[in-house]
Amino acid sequence: MNVPNILTLLRIFFVPLLVAALVQDYRRFEMLGLAVTNEQIALAIFWIAAATDLMDGYLARRWGQVTTVGTLLDPIADKLLISAALISLVQVRVLPGWMAILIIGREFAVSGLRSIAASSGYTIAASDLAKTKMVSQVIAVSMMLLSITFPALHVWAMAWMWSVVFFSLLSAGMYFAKFWRKVDIGIKKRGRRELLVMAKRERRKRRRRTMAAGNATVSGP
């Protein structure tokens, strides 16, 4: 277990802490002489978890510690973090439910699409637009969490959330286009291979018939 993988596991560990801090009733705590609310604690947990997302990939590439486990766990941890934050925001009545369903549904749809492609031998890499979508998600969720304490920010938070919906749908469309193109090319290649195999078999049959006819002529009276 290397450091990048530990950071990824920590991000998964932060998910229930984020939910617990956000969905409970309003509470106020004293920390180092400062008054802190549970929403502010949830925001701090979310920022720490988002920071691990940046650090684990950077450290894995820098230290040459890219592993299969890390590659599989990293997107799962990202989706768990964002999904938990969105569902919690719906629970506290800050975010419309349809927005959360649309964004989370997109994540599952794209994950399923990439799994199907991988099982067929195709790799659909993450696009730059998908990375922009992740950054916009972190900003939007952060502003939503801040708007609980500062209601004046709610309009700006909703504007960022609309940008998340836009980038989510756009990047999903790009993934589906890549998948369709790869599958279409794969089907055409398989069709060509089948045609070539059939043509070879037909040529072999013709050769056998020709050889059989020649042998019959030679052995004739």
Q: Where are the domains of the chain?
A: 1-93
pLDDT for residue 89 is more than 70: yes
Enter the tokens of residue 92.
């506290």
Query: What confidence score (pLDDT) does residue 167 get?
Result: 85
pLDDT for residue 177 is more than 70: yes
Looking at the DSSP bridge assignments, the partners of residue 28 are 37
| Residues 6 or more apart whose Cβ sits within 8 Å of residue 66 | 4, 60
pLDDT for residue 214 is more than 70: no
Q: What is the DSSP letter of 32?
A: T
For 70, counting Cβ atoms within 10 Å of its Cβ (0-12 exposed, 13-18 middle, 19+ buried), the class is buried
Enter the tokens of residue 100.
């959360």
pLDDT higher at 204 or 13: 13
Task: Calculate mean pLDDT across residues 65-71.
Answer: 72
pTM of the model: 0.75
Q: How confident is the model at residue 130 (pLDDT cuts 50, 70, 90)?
A: low
- State which of 30-44, 73-87, 129-143 shows the largest mean pLDDT: 73-87
